[in-house]
Structures are given as structure tokens and as C-alpha cells.
């Protein structure tokens, strides 16, 4: 069936009718508040009387309504009592009813005005009533048929008048014209699932006739369910982020506690060191003063003794001089032996006063160094205890092991065998160097593991990034993705920083601890038994996964046959 589209004239007429209808509804709404509205309704148009007239049978109608009714009918029939008139009756103006309706309208307008003052004016962002003049009240509903939004007062006809009750009311919305089909000027009532758009009834049989349609409500329910699912997902994401905020705040609290603890420990250590320095300085000064006093006392005694000898020598000199001038031959000969004898003195040739201060300061500094070493050991022990909480259960990855290596069944031990095994040359495997990686990786946070190196003369330990070259001869340095230390010739330790750096260790480690802080860019090695730091790579930039790296090195005819053993942390040796 061919359908015609509304012309521009029809649209203007419809809008005019809409405006008139709004005015009538406003009047009717007000009137309903004063008297029973049913008393003043025309039975043809079901609206309040306009120019009421009476028929000979005594019934009242709008003048225009009854005339149009009789113009469209072949006989003159009363719409209410069905009485038939042979000739068109003369219609008489019902003066009394006209006055009552007029009064009814005035009272309704006054009531509407009073009611409007009690209702809430529309605020910014709220939908205003389209019928209100002057102050626009807040709309309670919008009509999809009238394309008008109504406040409480002006909504009344839609709730009471039979002709308006069939209209579709929704929660108030703006731009009601957007809910009409731009092409057919019909309400958008269907949803085209093919084009994913809202359409009117005419669209479904004209422009979209081969498409799949569902009522707006059905699609609304489906989309609403999707939105509820999306909302649940968003709420879950929000909750996860709130938990992450709590986690971060907790981390900040832990950081503060750790900082306060480190600060307290640092202050305690440096206070002890300063006290040790002050004590050493005081002891040094006292020692020097004692030596000074001892030297002065020794010098004083020597001088006193020397002065005593000088006095004795002067006395003998006087006696010798006197005897030498004697003319008495007998007297000179008799006293000569006593004066010729050695004077009562000692040999002062090898005697001297030599203050010994040379080693005093050295000894004091050596004592301070010993104290510092003790404090350093305590700090390393405490640091080891803290980082051991990040211990991970590392196992060796056989897919990366060089064919010369022998791995234990539990993946905890590795050594170099005498015979090369035939293994598939997969991309992960080291083809030439006797190396192997751990299965576990790290791309954030911290981890720690310990390796027994006892009875070995050569080994390599550390971490390596995932993309390292594993084929042929490799260069072990940070530039190529390795952060390691090694032992060679039984006692030569080096950090492979490229060029390598020789390490001076007080003792040979029996167990080495490896600690990594990914975000901090730190790789540290510890002598677990001596509680000493071996070496730290700092300021590293990690962008890939890191894997534990092991190399037991060549067997060396049995001299280096002991395995590298991954030990449980805090294992009793």
C-alpha cells in the first residue's frame, strides 16, 4: 500500500493544533481543580465546551463540533440520545452554560497560578514545562504524541481526559523533536538491528523493509543489560584501582617505616662510630701525652744524673788542679793514684732521648678501622636478613643448558661432565659456553637466591636478560646483558663490568647470595658465610625479563668437578 508523506502545510497545521491543544489542556487542568471536569466536557471532542449550544432535545455540544458532526452525516442525529431530526435543527446558544464555563476557566487559571507558585521552578539542567507562561515550572512528564513537556498542573488532562490518556508519557526530556523521524514525522518506535538505528513505523515498511526490527523497549532492555554489565565491569575496575591505591598507600607506609628504621639504625651506627672516633682521639691524645711525659721524665732524670756527674767532675778537676800546682813531691805522689783513677761516671755515648710517636696515629686508625669493620659486618648481616625475605625457589632450566653440563633431577645442581651429550639445538640453549639459566624470571620487584660454590676453582654467577646471545662464544658483561662475578684459578675474583674489576676478598666465599632489585637497577653479590658484600652493580637499566645465570665452568680434569648447588635460604651448613 502506497503511503503519502505529510506536506509542509500539514506539518504547520499540526503544530498549530498542538499549540491550541496545549492552551486547552492548560485551561482544562486548572478547571479540574475547582469543579468536576465531566460537567463541562463536550461529548464529541471530549474537551471543555467552546461556544456551547443546545439542541432541541436539550443536549449541549461545542457549536463547531455538532455542526461538523451533522455536516459529515446523512441524517441529523443527536450524538447522545440518538434522536433523529427530519430537518436540521436550529442551534441555540446556551448563555448560562457559556457563563459557567467562562467562570470555570477563570477559576481554573487562578488555581493554576496558585498551584504554580507552590511548584518548583525549573533549575538549570532540568526540563521546563512547555505550557507555562512567565516562570517555567519543572516538568514531570514529556508526551511523545504532543511533543510537549508538562509540569504537574498542565499534566492533569493527560491523566484524566480519555482522549489524552492514550498518549505515551515518559520522564521529562529536552528536544522532543529529536524523538520524531525527520523523514516521516512519526515517533521513533522501532530499532533497526541491521543499521543499528532508531526508526519509525513508516521506515520499517519503506526504507528498511528487508531489515530486522525489534521494539525500542526490547532493544532498550538488551542495551540496558549490556550497560549494567559494563557498569559492573567499571565498578570492578574502580574497586581494583581503589585496592591498588590502598596497596600503594600501604607501600608508602611501609616505606616510611623502613626509612625510619634505616634512619634510626644509621644514626645508631654513626653515633657509635663518632663515639669510637672521639674515644680513639682521646686515647690517641692520652697516649701521646703519656709518651711525652715519659720522655720528659727520662730526660729530666738523665739531666739530673749528668749534672751530678758534672758536679763530681768539677770537684775532681779542682783537686787535680790543686795537686798539679803542689811543690810537695811526696804529697803529689801519694795522691796521684786516687786522682788518676776513672771518675765516677758512666758512658753516655749510646744514651739518648728519642720520642716514639710514629706508630701512635697508625695504631689508633687501625683500631678505628677494626671498629668500622665490626659495624660494617653488623650492617651487612642485617641487610642480608632483610633481603633474604625476597628468596625465590630457583631451579635450573634444562632447555637452556649447554650439552656438556650435567643437571640433577631436582634442578638444583649443575657441573660440567666429561662427555658432550646429544641434545636438540633449540634457540634457548647455550651452544658453546658451559652455561645454564634458571627457569624463574623477574620483570619487576626483587628476588634473591643462594648458591654453594664450595670446593670449586672456577665459576660464574649472576643474572642475564632474556634476549642474550646463546650461540658460539659470548661476551659476559652488562653491555651484552650479563651482570655477573666469577672465580678463576682458585683465588682470583672479578666483577665482569667490561673491563673486569679485580675484587679483594678477605676470605673465599663458600656460599654466594645474589640479590636483584629490578626498579632500583641493582644487582648485589654477598658472601653469606662471612656476611660481607662482594660487589654491587648499581644504576642498571632493566627493560626485559631477568633470569638467574650459572656457569660451573670446565671440569679441568677433575680439579673443578664440584657442582654449583642452589641452596635453600637460611640453610644450616
Name residues whose C-beta falls within 8 Å of residue 187's C-beta, 6 or more positions apart in sequence.
144, 145, 168, 179, 180, 181, 200
pLDDT at 19: 54
Of the pLDDT bands very low, low, confident and very high (cuts 50, 70, 90), residue 573 is: very low
| Site of grid cell 447522545 | 80
pLDDT at 36: 56
Signed CA dihedral, 311, 312, 316, 317: sign only: negative
pLDDT at 126: 87
Signed CA dihedral, 216, 219, 220, 221: sign only: positive
Is pLDDT of 3 > 80? no
Strands (E), 466-572: 482-488, 492-495, 501-503, 511-517, 522-527, 532-537, 546-551, 564-567
pLDDT at 379: 82
The answer to whether the predicted template modeling score (pTM) of the entire model surpasses 0.75 is no
Higher pLDDT, residue 148 or 339: 148
Asked which of 53-67, 102-116, 444-458, 505-519 is least confident by mean pLDDT, the reply is: 102-116
Q: Please state, rounded to an integer, the average pLDDT across all residues of the chain.
A: 84
pLDDT at 94: 85
How do beta strands 446-452 and 511-517 pair? Answer: antiparallel
Three-state DSSP state, 241: helix
pLDDT at 115: 54
Cell numbers that stand for 519 in this block = 626498579
Is pLDDT of 251 > 60? yes
Of the pLDDT bands very low, low, confident and very high (cuts 50, 70, 90), residue 41 is: confident
Nearest to 438 by CA among 385, 390, 500, 392: 392
Tell me how far apart the alpha carbons of residues 537 and 556 are, in angstroms, rounded to a whole number. 30
pLDDT at 392: 95
Cell numbers that stand for 340 in this block = 788518676
Tell me how far apart the alpha carbons of residues 12 and 19 are, in angstroms, rounded to a whole number. 11
Tell me how far apart the alpha carbons of residues 163 and 178 are, in angstroms, rounded to a whole number. 24
Bridge partner list, 451 = 512, 566
Mean of pLDDT values over 483-506: 92
Of the pLDDT bands very low, low, confident and very high (cuts 50, 70, 90), residue 253 is: very high
Amino acid at each position: 500500500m502506497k503511503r503519502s508523506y505529510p506536506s509542509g502545510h500539514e506539518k504547520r497545521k499540526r503544530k498549530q493544533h498542538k499549540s491550541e491543544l496545549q492552551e486547552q489542556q492548560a485551561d482544562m487542568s486548572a478547571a479540574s481543580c475547582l469543579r468536576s471536569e465531566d460537567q463541562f466536557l463536550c461529548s464529541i471532542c471530549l474537551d471543555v465546551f467552546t461556544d456551547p449550544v443546545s439542541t432541541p432535545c436539550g443536549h449541549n455540544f461545542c457549536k463547531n463540533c455538532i455542526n461538523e458532526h451533522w455536516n459529515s452525516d446523512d441524517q441529523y442525529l443527536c450524538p447522545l440520545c440518538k434522536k433523529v431530526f427530519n430537518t436540521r435543527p436550529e442551534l441555540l446558544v446556551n448563555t448560562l452554560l457559556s457563563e459557567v464555563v467562562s467562570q470555570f476557566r477563570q477559576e481554573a487559571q487562578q488555581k493554576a497560578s496558585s498551584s504554580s507558585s507552590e511548584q518548583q521552578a525549573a533549575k538549570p539542567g532540568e526540563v521546563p514545562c512547555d505550557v507555562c507562561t512567565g516562570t517555567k515550572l519543572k516538568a514531570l512528564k514529556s508526551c511523545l504524541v504532543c511533543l510537549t513537556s508538562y509540569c504537574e498542573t498542565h499534566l492533569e488532562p493527560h491523566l484524566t481526559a480519555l482522549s489524552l490518556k492514550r498518549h505515551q508519557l515518559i520522564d521529562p526530556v529536552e528536544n522532543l523533536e529529536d524523538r520524531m523521524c525527520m523523514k516521516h514525522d512519526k515517533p521513533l518506535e522501532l530499532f533497526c538491528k541491521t543499521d543499528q538505528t532508531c526508526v519509525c513505523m513508516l521506515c520499517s515498511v519503506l526504507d528498511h523493509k528487508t531489515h530486522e526490527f525489534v521494539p525500542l523497549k526490547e532493544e532498550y532492555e538488551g542495551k540496558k543489560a549490556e550497560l549494567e554489565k559494563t557498569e559492573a565491569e567499571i565498578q570492578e575496575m574502580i574497586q581494583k584501582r581503589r585496592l591498588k591505591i590502598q596497596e600503594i598507600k600501604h607501600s608508602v607506609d611501609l616505606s616510611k617505616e623502613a626509612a625510619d628504621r634505616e634512619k634510626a639504625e644509621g644514626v645508631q651506627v654513626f653515633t657509635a662510630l663518632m663515639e669510637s672516633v672521639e674515644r680513639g682521639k682521646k686515647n690517641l691524645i692520652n697516649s701521646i701525652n703519656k709518651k711525652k711525659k715519659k720522655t720528659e721524665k727520662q730526660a729530666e732524670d738523665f739531666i739530673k744524673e749528668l749534672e751530678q756527674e758534672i758536679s763530681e767532675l768539677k770537684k775532681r778537676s779542682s783537686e787535680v788542679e790543686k795537686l798539679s800546682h803542689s811543690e810537695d813531691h811526696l804529697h803529689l805522689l801519694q795522691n796521684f793514684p786516687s786522682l788518676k783513677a776513672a771518675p765516677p761516671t758512666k758512658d753516655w755515648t749510646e744514651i739518648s732521648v728519642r720520642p716514639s710517636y710514629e706508630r701512635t696515629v697508625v695504631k689508633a686508625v687501625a683500631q678505628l678501622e677494626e671498629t668500622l669493620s665490626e659495624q660494617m659486618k653488623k650492617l651487612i648481616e642485617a641487610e642480608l636478613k632483610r633481603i633474604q625475605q625476597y628468596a625465590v625457589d630457583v631451579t635450573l632450566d634444562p632447555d637452556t643448558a649447554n650439552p656438556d653440563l650435567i643437571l640433577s633431577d631436582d634442578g638444583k645442581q649443575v657441573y660440567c661432565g666429561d662427555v658432550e651429550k646429544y641434545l636438540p639445538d633449540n634457540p634457548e640453549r647455550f651452544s658453546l659456553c658451559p652455561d645454564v639459566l634458571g627457569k624463574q624470571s623477574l620483570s619487576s620487584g626483587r628476588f634473591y637466591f643462594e648458591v654453594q660454590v664450595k670446593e670449586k676453582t672456577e665459576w660464574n654467577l649472576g643474572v642475564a636478560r632474556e634476549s642474550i646471545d646463546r650461540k658460539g662464544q659470548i661476551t659476559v658483561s652488562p653491555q651484552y646483558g650479563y651482570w655477573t662475578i666469577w672465580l678463576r684459578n682458585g683465588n682470583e675474583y672479578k666483577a665482569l663490568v667490561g673491563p673486569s674489576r679485580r675484587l679483594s676478598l678477605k676470605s673465599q666465599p663458600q656460599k654466594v647470595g645474589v640479590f636483584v632489585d629490578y626498579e632500583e637497577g641493582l644487582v648485589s653479590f654477598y658472601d653469606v658465610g662471612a656476611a660481607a658484600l662482594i660487589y654491587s652493580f648499581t644504576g642498571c637499566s632493566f627493560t626485559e625479563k631477568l633470569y638467574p645465570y650459572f656457569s660451573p665452568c670446565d671440569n679441568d680434569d677433575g680439579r673443578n668437578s664440584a657442582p654449583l648447588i642452589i641452596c635453600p635460604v637460611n640453610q644450616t651448613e
